[in-house]
Structure 1
Amino acid sequence: MIALTFVVWVYMYIRRLSYILTHHVDYARLGKSSALVEMMPAEVSFPSDNLKNLFELPVIFYVISIISVQAELVDKIMVQAAWSFVALRLVHSFIHCTFNNVNLRFLFYILSSFVLWFMVVHIGVVLLAKPLL
Structure 2
Amino acid sequence: MTQDQVFGPFLATVFLTLLVWVYMYIRRIGFITSRKISPQDLAAPGSLVHIWPPGVSNPSDNLKNLFEIPVLFYVLVLYLFITKQVDAIYVNAAWVFVVFRALHSIVHCTFNLIMLRFYLYLFATLAVWFIAIRAAFIYFSV
TM-score range, shorter chain: over 0.9
- Given the alignment, which residue of 32, 42, 53 partners 1:20? 32
Displacement of 1:33 after TM fit?
Answer: 4.3
Alpha-carbon distance change, 55 to 19 in structure 1, aligned in 2, over 3 angstroms? same
In structure 1, the residue matched to 2:3 is none
Following TM superposition, the consecutive aligned residue runs of length 4 or more in structure 1 with deviations greater than 2 angstroms are none
Displacement of 1:58 after TM fit?
Answer: 0.4
Give the aligned residue type for 2:120.
Answer: F
In structure 2, the residue matched to 1:122 is 134
- Given the alignment, which residue of 62, 87, 95 partners 1:50? 62
Distance 1:69 1:32 in 2: 44
- Given the alignment, which residue of 71, 76, 83 partners 1:64? 76
Displacement of 1:54 after TM fit?
Answer: 0.1
1:1-133 correspondence to structure 2 within 5 Å: 1-130=13-142
Contact 2:23 2:59 in 1 (8 A): yes
Distance 2:125 2:42 in 1: 35
Distance 2:121 2:130 in 1: 14
Displacement of 1:128 after TM fit?
Answer: 2.3
Q: TM-score, normalised by structure 2?
A: 0.88
Displacement of 1:26 after TM fit?
Answer: 2.1
Structure 1: any 5+ residue segments left out of the alignment? none
Displacement of 1:41 after TM fit?
Answer: 1.1
Contact 2:27 2:55 in 1 (8 A): no
Q: Deviations over 1:20-70 (max 9, x none)?
A: 011101221211342222222122111000000000000000000000000
Contact 1:73 1:126 in 2 (8 A): no
Corresponding residue pairs, total = 130
Q: TM-score, normalised by structure 1?
A: 0.94
Identity value in percent = 43
Displacement of 1:127 after TM fit?
Answer: 1.9
Distance 1:105 1:85 in 2: 14
